[in-house]
Structure 1
């Protein structure tokens, strides 16, 4: 016994300082071994003087056991949740009735013979063990504790694995990864810049890149043909559940000598492969339809449609023109107005119709007309206020156009589409979900194409870019000589399950077309040379046709992790007010910093 104890001590002394195994590595094959483990105390259970501790590291959990026979029992009694400890012990087989098949180490436990507290923990502001819900402010302030929870561990590992897979897939397609600058010049990308004051050039500012847009185009001009990057992007935006208010990462790529379809053919197998690899076995659609921006707005009320919902809205204006329903009839006498219908298969009850009408009113519209069809024994009857006002012939024509029958309903909104389109889209989503029409366990994609190049401000009428300003207009220079609001661009987005995952374009590589395109948006030639001098100069020296896209990594991982909030898949996110509660950012600058930068901070407006 004395010799065995000596050899045991010798083996321990030769071990690594902190562990011989991870907390997921021990199995029945290790029974009798002397081992060293390190990790966090996940939970402690006292069973009548016998202590059970679940020890956790990033790999898994091992159950420890300690009773009064252990030389360190008194020390083990003191440990609490989330203490970081190192233990030495002997692997024992669990009784057959106590085996836990849910974890790899479920057949064994480790009898503790020595312990070292590596880091004691104070009283916890949130528990790591269990599924308790905590306010987001608490979770973000103590993010390092929040990240210890199993769900967050899995999300962050998923994110890392997705990025690694993206990189491999891009390399396999012949792309090379290049890094572009983080400190650069301001560029119009559709959001506000984060400005960085220059110490060496007082009064001047750099900008954090909203995207590597200009640089990746210059890489094409430099002759590299296929570029990609896992790129950080910085935009001072209002937060949403699916958008970070400060920074995000994207799979950024660009290709030379390509047309729009070439970009689609390149990125589709990459995205498909990612969703098949990490989507938990959910079906991934192989058919990615091309839907024009105009059709998407009409059919789905959005440019990022969820095709798991089969409902397609339709224009039914002809059935209400000159009808007995005066509200719609008079609306249609005004230019630019129309009536749209949202079919609702199986939604044919007054209770459901009233509930959807109330939903639209909460969204800020006066209401939503409806018709539902029911069986009256001797035939089908159309019911609801609209049916009574427009009569059976018009009602039947609507039913046939929408392909509806007994037990179905249809909802109607009218006016200028811009005033109700978005609400109609949200109503379509709710209808599909409440009636069980929307698939829940699949990924469906669609390319949205033919975006308008320009849009006009509703109040001022000023024309500006509606999408990426560096896109090639369809029709080239000739298209820019007419009404700018009718110009379409070679711009495209990829929608998946109601989210925009990819945005891209075939780029405008012709200097004369670029100058004219910016002129229509209010930038004269001198301003274009001043703001985009690098690209303007480069385009004078043989710019190839090129195009590309960028895929939002945070949003992709959010879908794969089946999370509703993007902050669940970002390691250290800001809160909804763009604050880092853990690092106390943004913070007040020191006077010395301001003097060095020759800046003065004005007090906030009252």
Structure 2
């Protein structure tokens, strides 16, 4: 039966006790990890958020009543123990921080009994994620999940301290705001006071932080909750957290400089990683040409090579056809894999087709210098040799080629490069490779909407030397935008903002907004700009992704206390759920549910 605290006061967390405390009386509290009765001595592993500590119960120390209580202890009972710190009588456990000490208990208080949990509370659990998320409050007891959330807390504290010391002010922006549909779908919140009207949950604090710059606050930051109603992946959630910032009277170098110092401090003080400064910079075009990705993983080579000039005029129609249609032919050299079995090559071809490829051309170079290729009958021996030379090929290499419009070629080879590196274990998992990607295209063409859309957002400043392209060739204009990439994952992005009315109006025009539509959506910002706006720029990190990479986890669900699953539902609370009819009446909302089509 559970007992009360009865004046007990915890003196230490489990791993705060060291051999320096030997001989002291301490009081510890936590959960029973496991209990072992060795006949006259009961060994209990006590767990709290700091780790595990071994407790010994002997009848001579805790008397018959205390020993009887200790015999009944089971996993996940919550207990308080008073006892003396002693050196371990048995073998030292080098896997525990407290492996050379133990507590000889003199008093046991059972604070709470526990049912047998539906899965073991242990590190590296093999239990299915669905079950763990249903009982998330138990899953959160696991030491590896607790380490992740402790890391997250430490990171947030360091960020706050660093930015405050750099002159940033922490200012909160509204959660209930106006819907400005441009990009991902908004989560909408109905208003009871204004029937038929809706708030939107923020996809980012973008407009408000720009208004703060208009208001003279100079340097702002916020660890902000954001929401996007979009399809989920391993590194996405419907609600997520940003480290958001905005600075006035700055340009790109100023923003990058302060953020490099932030990253250096953050990684050193949390996980002991030294980030060398300055961080490498690469333009978007160079990243696409070399890696087929605007968030390249630079921990390994296997870079793309453009062989369009080498194969033009050859007899292989797939190559020449792509060039005639304005595309390119590019390849990657998989070193030492020239003898890869045909079955594995066919699997790579199938993989490439998932990313838009019509096929994948390959050239295997034997250890004896012989060629085996899917297209050798269409090219002369000399042409094949020139192609291999241009790819830096040696005997025993495997060359893979994609031929299509650039977008498809980049997508195919960029993803193929990552897949092969994963399969061949070419990636050093202990590396943390940072990269700034700069000079993104200002616009991208939306086939669905048949218009230009902003690659970042409508308030991104074009490169000064590209301003005239807004009139003549907007598709060629580059943005003063920058992403920070870590190990092939974008962890943050930002841009210099437009602050001149004529440039902003031209942007809206190119994005298909009339002046009236622009003011209807963004009027409060555009009106603020009429009263004196400083040059400003900003950046936001995805905190969840950042912590995921720091903790070397594969999913952001492992670094969020209460995450959603892929359909944006919560298995633990069963949200979203129906609401009372009275609540709908107060909101003047009637539901008309569409019947799902019969399969």
Smaller-chain TM-score bracket: over 0.9
- 1:437, CA displacement in angstroms? 4.0
Corresponding residue number in structure 1 for 2:269 = 277
Between 1:44-53 and 1:566-575, the stretch displaced more is 44-53
Q: Judging changes above 3 Å, is the alpha-carbon distance between structure 1 residues 385 and 92 closer, same or farther for their aligned structure 2 residues?
A: closer
Q: Deviations over 1:83-127 (max 9, x none)?
A: 1112233444422x4333443433333333332221211121121
TM-score by length of 1: 0.91
Question: Match for residue 458 of structure 2?
Answer: 469
2 CA distance for matches of 1:119 and 1:454?
Answer: 60
Structure 2 counterpart of 1:408: 397
Query: Among residues 50, 53, 64, which one is paired with 1:62 in the alignment?
Result: 53
Tell whether 2:509 aligns with 1:519. Answer: yes
Deviation per CA, 1:399-438, whole angstroms, max 9, x where unpaired?
Answer: 2322222222211011122334322211111233344543
Aligned to 2:348: 356
Separation (CA, whole Å) in 1 of partners of 2:138 and 2:296 = 37
Residue 221 of structure 1 is matched in structure 2 by 214
Q: What's 2:118 paired with? A: 125
Deviations 1:146-201 (A, max 9, x none): 11111011111111111111112212222222111111112345211111111111
Q: Residues 382 and 287 of structure 1: is their aligned pair in 2 closer, same or farther, counting only changes over 3 Å?
A: farther
Residue of structure 1 aligned with 2:478, choices 462, 481, 488: 488
8 Å CA contact retained: 2:227, 2:240: yes
1:446-465 pair list within 5 angstroms: 446-465=435-454
Distance apart, 1:287 and its partner CA: 4.8
- 1:271-307 deviation digits (Å, cap 9, x = unpaired): 13322333454x6453533322233223222211101
Matched, 1:595 2:571: no
Greater CA drift, 141-150 or 83-92: 83-92
1:552 matched to 2:533? The reply is no
Q: CA deviation at 1:27?
A: 3.8
Distance 2:472 2:5 in 1: 81
Aligned length: 587
Distance 1:261 1:30 in 2: 51
Q: Deviations over 1:325-361 (max 9, x none)?
A: 233233333x222211112222222426455334334
In the alignment, structure 1 segments of 5+ residues that lack a partner are 1-12
For 2:359, the equivalent position in structure 1 comes to 367
Equivalents in 2 of 1:30, 1:473: separation in Å? 63
Q: How does 1:557-568 map to 2 (within 5 A)?
A: 557-568=547-558
Alignment of 1:28-107 (within 5 A): 28-69=19-60, 70-71=63-64, 72-95=66-89, 97-107=90-100
Name the stretch that deviates more: 538-547 or 349-358.
349-358
Q: Closer, same or farther in 2 for the Cα pair 1:81/1:18, shift >3 Å?
A: farther
Q: Is the 8 A contact 1:285 1:444 kept in 2?
A: no
Looking at structure 1, the residues matched to 518 and 311 of structure 2 have their Cα atoms a distance apart, in angstroms, of: 49
Aligned to 1:153: 146
Among residues 175, 194, 197, which one is paired with 1:182 in the alignment?
175
Task: Give the C-alpha shift of residue 309 in structure 1.
Answer: 2.0
| Partner secondary structure for residue 480 of structure 1 | helix
Deviation at 1:388, TM superposition (A): 4.2
The 1-side partners of 2:401 and 2:241 are apart by 40
> Structure 1 residue 197 and structure 2 residue 203: aligned?
no
Structure 2 spans left out of the alignment, 5+ residues = none
Residue 243 of structure 1 is matched in structure 2 by 236
Report the alpha carbon displacement of residue 463 of structure 1 after superposing the two structures with TM. Answer: 2.4
Q: CA–CA distance in 1 between the matches of 2:332 and 2:97?
A: 51
Task: Provide the secondary structure at the position in 1 that maps to 2:16.
Answer: coil
The yes-or-no answer on 1:576 pairing with 2:569 is no
Cα distance between partner residues in 2 of 1:423 and 1:407: 23
- Pair 1:108-2:98 in alignment: no
TM-score, length-scaled by structure 2: 0.92
C-alpha change, 1:457 and 1:433, in structure 2 (3 Å) is same
Distance between the aligned counterparts of 2:376 and 2:523, measured in 1?
A: 62
Between stretches 439-448 and 361-370, larger displacement belongs to 361-370
Distance 1:455 1:14 in 2: 64
Does the CA contact (< 8 Å) of 2:355 and 2:408 recur in 1? no
What is the aligned partner in structure 2 of residue 140 from structure 1? 133
d(CA) in 1 for partners of 2:312, 2:5? 90
Q: Which residue of 2 aligns with 1:8?
A: none
Compared CA separation, residues 26 and 544, structure 1 to 2 (3 A): closer
Note the C-alpha offset of 1:539: 0.4
Partner of residue 313, structure 1: 304
Which whole-Å deviations, capped at 9, do the CAs of 1:443-499 have from their partners, x for residues lacking one?
112222222222222255222222211111234763322233222221121111110
The whole-number CA distance in structure 1 between the counterparts of 2:582 and 2:229 is 26
Distance in 2 of aligned mates of 1:309 and 1:104: 36
Secondary structure of the residue that 1:513 maps to in structure 2?
Answer: helix
Q: Per the alignment, do residues 276 and 35 of structure 1 end up closer, same or farther by CA in structure 2, a change over 3 Å counting?
A: closer
Deviates more, 1:355-364 or 1:565-574: 355-364
Closer/same/farther in 2, CA of residues 441 and 87 from structure 1, 3 Å limit: closer
Question: Which of the numbers 500, 519, 529 marks the counterpart of 1:539?
Answer: 529
Residue 330 of structure 1: aligned partner: 321
- Output one character per residue of 1:188-222: Cα deviation in whole Å (capped at 9) or x when no partner: 45211111111111111111111110111111111
3-state DSSP class of the match of 2:294? coil
Q: Is the counterpart of residue 440 in structure 1 residue 429 in structure 2? A: yes
